[in-house]
A and B are shown apart, each in its own frame.
Chain A
Amino acid sequence: MSDLNKLGLAEARDALRKGDVTSVELTESCLKAIDDADALNAFVHKTPEIALERAKAADARIKEGDAPSMCGLPIGIKDLFCTKGVPSQAASKILEGFKPEYESTVSQQLADAGAVMLGKLNMDEFAMGSSNETSVYGNAVSPWRRGNDDAQLTPGGSSGGSASAVAADLCLAATGTDTGGSIRQPAAFVGITGIKPTYGRCSRWGIVAFASSLDQAGPMTKNVRDAAIMLETMCGHDPKDSTSAELAVPNFEALLTGDIKGKKIGIPKEYRMDGMPAEIEKLWADGAEMLKAAGAEIVDISLPHTKYALPAYYVIAPAEASSNLARYDGVRYGRRAHLAQGDGITEMYEKTRAEGFGHEVQRRVMIGTYVLSAGFYDAYYNRARRVRTLIKKDFEDVFAAGVDAILTPATPSASFGLGEMTEADPVQMYLNDVFTVTVNLAGLPGVSVPAGLDAQGLPLGLQLIGRPWEEGDLLNTAYALENAAGFVAKPGKWW
């Protein structure tokens, strides 16, 4: 078999089980693709030795029979996950040189299942960004281009390296994390599938924290079946994360029947934004038609507090970030600033954090500090948390009325050029998350499915939002949408 790196997880798993291919062959094919793709800047720490060692172990395990689904499958890990002995920097200068002495629960579960780690993937610094332009490693680049225009495009963010790597077939799949849309927006920008599960499904232990009440890990894959396979391995209760749910993890793949007859799909009117590109509007309408043709009932619904989700998010997420990032003080790990003669401990903190945090991270830490400061806590932070209660109630009301899933666009536009948003004010960049951020605030599962191309030939995605803990049903609806949309476009190789 040739071009093994182009396989998806399910295809590769089946080929491994049949003995048509070995994990070492799959892994070598990916390692070669990675070395050829430095122009994408997706893999920022390569781990070929670890990969080949794990691939050999996986081959032995497969030979013995009874290997789990992920066994022998080469994947990339977002730099936000702590990986033992391997640099884990959250794409920040402040964690330069940090090599964890422990492994995150999610990456450990993947390793235990026999998955092969190829290396660490680029991202926005501390997962704060929507274009992968805030990374200390430099921009990750999308494998997609606008026709013959050679302008570099963003793979989205914050999981931009994961998106770029999966779309360019550098790995079979990758881990991502999603605090406001960081799995679903990049997945949509590069034409792949990404699911953020219900808050509490995946352990947050060992994942560098951004906003703890919103952060969730999830898979970024080449199709919905692969997402079901990888998600199952990533999920599960973990005593080391006090918000991890003690619930059984279903076999998500077994739930993919493609049968959605009688399912009620809601179309929220508040997601019809002013100035929404006609292409996005059409994609959305087409998606609803596809689900209807597959036997679902399409109903108009209202989520009245949608408009307030982004402002609430930009209080709550920075507030939690300012608290979480207080640990980067130049004392216990990471990088300490060079100090001048006579500098005391306060100067050490201030210089270390000024040098170590990039501009966007500093801005969010300071906004968070402000909204939590005496005199403003009630006006900003508590008000935002009240609005969050109302946003969650909007969804509860709709689900109580019998809606099974909600269909929305994944992003307000296709991918944009790297550097194109530099002059815009920060709020313009924040608008990228307008359709995804509500889902994090309500703790719900959300999946982005590639559904079409825009006039410039760039991928566009649709988002499905499900009931809490019903990822299986959600993935099945996504599977039906995937089947109907028939998205097969791939970027032409220029790198």
Chain B
Amino acid sequence: MSIDQSTAAKVAKLARIKVEDDALPALASEFNTILGFIEQLNEVDVEGVEPMVSVEPMRLKRREDVVTDGNQQDKVLANAPDAREGFFAVPKVVE
């Protein structure tokens, strides 16, 4: 499986990372090196083997569906690059 420039551009878009057009050939080439390394996994017979979910065969703990925390608006917003009137602020989303 070889990655071309348009696939590299698509992956960058999916990852929401801006990649300039002139950087795409190098990126595609790096992807191909890494994926070439990963291709070794095709040598392994995995027929009938379950994909691992967790190293410990544990069931995730459950708890009561109740509020355990809250009323910390100031703390939640303290690190926001742009917070106004008790909200996170972002560029206009709807015209």
Contact = CB atoms under 8 A, between A and B. Distances in A.
Q: Is this pair of chains taken from one and the same complex?
A: yes
Given A336-B82, A392-B52, A242 B15 contact: no
A300 to B, nearest CB: 23
Contacts of A383: 41-42, 44, 46
Contact of B12 (A199, A366, A430): A366
Contacts of A346: 16
B67 interface: no
Interface stretch (A51-59, A133-141, A224-232, A305-313): A305-313
A388 B46 contact: no
Chain A contact surface mostly:
helix
Contacts of B44: 305, 308, 383, 386-387, 390
Interface string B46-57: 100111111110
B27 to A, nearest CB: 8
Contact of A351 (B18, B27, B76, B82): B18
A150 interface: no
Nearest to A376: B1
Interface string B1-42: 001000010011011111100000001001101110111111
Given A245-B56, A387-B41, A369 B93 contact: no
Contacts, number: 165
A390 B34 CA distance: 22
A206 to B, nearest CB: 14
Interface in A306-336: 307-308, 310-312, 314-315, 322, 326, 329-336
B66 interface: no
Contacts of A365: 15, 17
Contacts of B60: 242-243
Contacts of A384: 38, 41
B56 to A, nearest CB: 6
Nearest to A95: B79
A331 B90 contact: yes
- Among A97, A362, A366, A371: residue with most chain B CB under 10 A: A366
Given A314-B34, A332-B79, A387-B41, A339 B49 contact: no
B46 A386 contact: yes
A380 B38 contact: yes
A189 interface: no
A345 B46 contact: no
Contacts of B38: 311, 314-315, 371, 380, 384
B56 A335 contact: no
A251 interface: no
B56 A199 contact: yes
Given A99-B79, A315-B38, A315-B41, A389 B52 contact: yes
A271 interface: no
B34 A426 contact: yes
Contacts of A382: 51
Contacts of B35: 367, 370
B81 interface: yes
Contacts of A243: 54, 56, 58, 60
Given A199-B56, A308-B44, A97 B37 contact: no
Interface in A342-358: 343-351, 353-354, 357
A213 B54 contact: yes
B50 A373 contact: no
Given A213-B54, A383-B41, A443-B55, A390 B46 contact: yes
A413 to B, nearest CB: 19
B75 A101 contact: yes
A98 interface: yes
B11 A370 contact: yes
B49 A390 contact: yes
B92 interface: yes
A99 B78 CA distance: 9
Given A243-B56, A330-B81, A387-B41, A343 B88 contact: no
A348 B90 contact: yes
B61 interface: yes
A367 to B, nearest CB: 6
A385 interface: yes
Contacts of A392: 52, 55
B70 interface: no
B34 A427 contact: yes
A44 interface: no
B34 A344 contact: no
A425 interface: yes
B2 to A, nearest CB: 12
B91 interface: yes
A37 interface: no
14 contacts: A315-B41, A332-B79, A334-B81, A343-B91, A344-B93, A345-B93, A350-B16, A354-B17, A362-B15, A362-B17, A365-B17, A370-B11, A384-B38, A385-B53
Given A101-B79, A245-B56, A329-B16, 10 more contacts: A101-B72, A243-B54, A308-B43, A314-B37, A331-B88, A369-B14, A370-B3, A383-B44, A389-B51, A426-B30
Interface of B: 3, 8, 11-12, 14-19, 27, 30-31, 33-35, 37-44, 46, 49-56, 58, 60-61, 63, 72, 75-76, 78-82, 88, 90-93
